[in-house]
Structure 1
């Protein structure tokens, strides 16, 4: 999308994005305008955080974004992409900073990258697909249509995209239809065919953990005689703390939760866990990288709530408070990985058994439309622990395209956090 010529002289920075959502959770995908970064993907993540955080803030924070905005930046050169092990790299952008894994964004990125291949072989491609996805010619279409030859236009099949994200390589399988005989294909719009990805190894870090709650971090719903809560910790590309609403002092279900009260409770639980002298060291350990060893989210769950997908044996509902208390509208793909690993560790799920995981939004939709399906595929070793690889399935949709500009001298336009400003003012007033 070209910027009108009369604006050119005023522009300090220009960023191009494709806007998508997964069950209502946005993914603002940056394909041009992110600063050049070198080194491994984790080194690029560190450099972006240390030297280019203004770019993240300009598209995720207000006035272009909001507290619940989520983003991803395509990284066409990483150690695994350059070695041929992956097709594309990606950094995940939250309101707080840079996540290590994101399932809903992975589903969106898979569809986007497959759709970049639709113009292969066309005489006049309508967009700069080569710029967006240099390795798009390496993707292969595999026909699954028994009634049609794989090379026929309109044949149904699937395409695998290997996506390098900060926690490792994720394999995304996107349902597709062939668009021409030269290798072009695009994601299938048939909503009965889900996008799948195979997770990095996920594992239960600890079950039935006691988290002490100091007096300064109590919340109104916590019973007066209760000085701790019981929770589980599991890893699904990031570390999650799982706790039921009842354990937090909310006996009512998640059908119509008090979001402000849950926000306060989960914020305080996260603070209590992180402040404890022993819990983070014991339960946030990952054998591969220190960059992965932080508590990303507190996830409030209600087992048994929600409509199960036809392929699943049951359903759960949950609400994920992640990063700086962002609330995920989707069922949280990396959270599903962790929940499946936790269920396997507890003996509640068998290999190959599918389960539907709902967010508050998908659980409220007619027929439970939009829930993710999680399935443990195989056991894997993760250091000294036994983990699982998990298949996560869901949908992703387009919303638009945008060219964002930051005008020279516009400090406010570089991004601001209005809620944080209010929090600071309250502390000063107090």
Structure 2
């Protein structure tokens, strides 16, 4: 018996296997086996159950030494709606998000490649239940292989436009709040004397968290479906005043100062809702979103206008491609005193 067999047999209850992917440079770690049963009637119940009962497994996969401070993950669960082909929870180093666009793009390809949905040329539809609602992915399928994907969002809307806040050290800051499956603060980075080219990632992330805390202390969010969705997930910084350009630089800082390597699918969804609200994009027009640091990009467009109760909203489409980076088997030895670290 080799050392690997000995360790895994001794710790068989803690073996978790994953498929590793990335979209736009942002990690997608999909837990494909090893998770215990996740209990709950609804997907938000399952999210709460994981937070309250299985959070040590999230930390094991997301944090060092198996992960890192910018890791992102997916936990497949049983769907509670018949329309869905699959259902998932999203994880990161702070907890559990309710929507993730870059992961949805990767999951579309993964679902076709792994037979969750049978591939159909030229495009296969994959319906994914996320904590924020049902999202539909359209996955390119040619010669038996899945490729790039685009997903249709849940209704996206502006919660509060043209807001102001006095931020210590910076004075009056202008911002907007928009929902793209989760809530973000949208703000022009240049107001802080920062820019994507020369400012450090640390300075950008620190400023974003200061802004998010200040806005969260001032603004009470609500959501029409469930107030589990009503929280500030992150900040989308963009460069310069908004106009009717066809390309926008942006960077998403979310959770506990995690810096997205992709342009952020849910953030771009909310961005399109904001641009539409301000009259800067029309239905059917394509906009490109480029990460200000990594230069990876997504395309997005407004598909149609809808209403969420009395609130004007839009369904948007975000497109990109997920790539495989490997497969892993993770375990934790029984006498390991530090199953995970999170250093900030």
Whether TM-score is above 0.5 comes out as yes
Are 1:31 and 2:32 counterparts?
Answer: yes
Out of 265, 287, 311, which is 2:207 matched to?
265
Where do 1:181-192 residues align within 5 Å? 186-188=145-147
1:67 alignment counterpart: 69
CA drift of 1:257 comes to 2.2
2:179 alignment counterpart: 235
- Name the CA distance, whole Å, in 2 between partners of 1:116 and 1:237: 26
Are 1:14 and 2:15 counterparts?
Answer: yes
SS in 2 for 1:105: helix
The 1:263–1:8 alpha-carbon spacing in structure 2 relative to 1, beyond 3 Å, is closer
1:152 alignment counterpart: none
CA drift of 1:20 comes to 0.4
Are 1:392 and 2:298 counterparts?
Answer: no
CA drift of 1:299 comes to 1.3
The 1:396–1:375 alpha-carbon spacing in structure 2 relative to 1, beyond 3 Å, is same
Spell out structure 1 runs of 4+ moving beyond 6 A: none
Where do 1:61-210 residues align within 5 Å? 61-75=63-77, 77-80=78-81, 83=82, 85-117=83-115, 136=116, 139=118, 141=120, 143=121, 157-179=122-144, 186-188=145-147, 194-210=148-164
The 1:172–1:304 alpha-carbon spacing in structure 2 relative to 1, beyond 3 Å, is farther
2:226 alignment counterpart: 289
| Structure holding more strand per residue | 2
CA drift of 1:362 comes to 4.5
1:376 alignment counterpart: 302
After TM superposition, the score normalised by the length of structure 2 is 0.94
- Name the CA distance, whole Å, in 1 between partners of 2:318 and 2:87: 19
CA drift of 1:61 comes to 0.6
1:298 alignment counterpart: 235
Looking at CA atoms only, which structure, 1 or 2, has the larger radius of gyration?
A: 1
1:359 alignment counterpart: 291
Are 1:411 and 2:337 counterparts?
Answer: yes
CA drift of 1:383 comes to 2.1
Question: Could you report, residue by residue, the CA deviation over 1:152-209 in whole angstroms, capped at 9, with x for unpaired residues?
Answer: xxxxx11010000000000001101243xxxxxx303xxxxx4100000000111111
1:336 alignment counterpart: 268
2:279 alignment counterpart: 347
Aligned-residue CA RMSD (Å): 1.9
CA drift of 1:263 comes to 2.1
CA drift of 1:259 comes to 2.2
CA drift of 1:139 comes to 3.5
8 Å contact from structure 2 (residues 119, 146) kept in 1: no
1:318 alignment counterpart: 250
- Name the CA distance, whole Å, in 2 between partners of 1:383 and 1:212: 32
Q: Which runs of 5+ in 1 are unaligned?
A: 118-135, 144-156, 180-185, 189-193, 306-311, 364-369, 420-430
8 Å contact from structure 2 (residues 197, 293) kept in 1: no
- Name the CA distance, whole Å, in 2 between partners of 1:372 and 1:98: 23
- Name the CA distance, whole Å, in 1 between partners of 2:203 and 2:343: 20
2:198 alignment counterpart: 256
SS in 1 for 2:332: strand
SS in 2 for 1:210: strand
SS in 1 for 2:154: coil
- Name the CA distance, whole Å, in 1 between partners of 2:101 and 2:261: 12
Q: Which runs of 5+ in 2 are unaligned?
A: none
CA drift of 1:7 comes to 1.9
- Name the CA distance, whole Å, in 2 between partners of 1:354 and 1:313: 10
SS in 2 for 1:416: coil
2:43 alignment counterpart: 41
8 Å contact from structure 1 (residues 71, 92) kept in 2: yes
8 Å contact from structure 2 (residues 166, 173) kept in 1: yes
8 Å contact from structure 1 (residues 19, 27) kept in 2: yes
CA drift of 1:261 comes to 2.0
- Name the CA distance, whole Å, in 2 between partners of 1:10 and 1:408: 8
SS in 2 for 1:406: coil
- Name the CA distance, whole Å, in 2 between partners of 1:51 and 1:6: 28
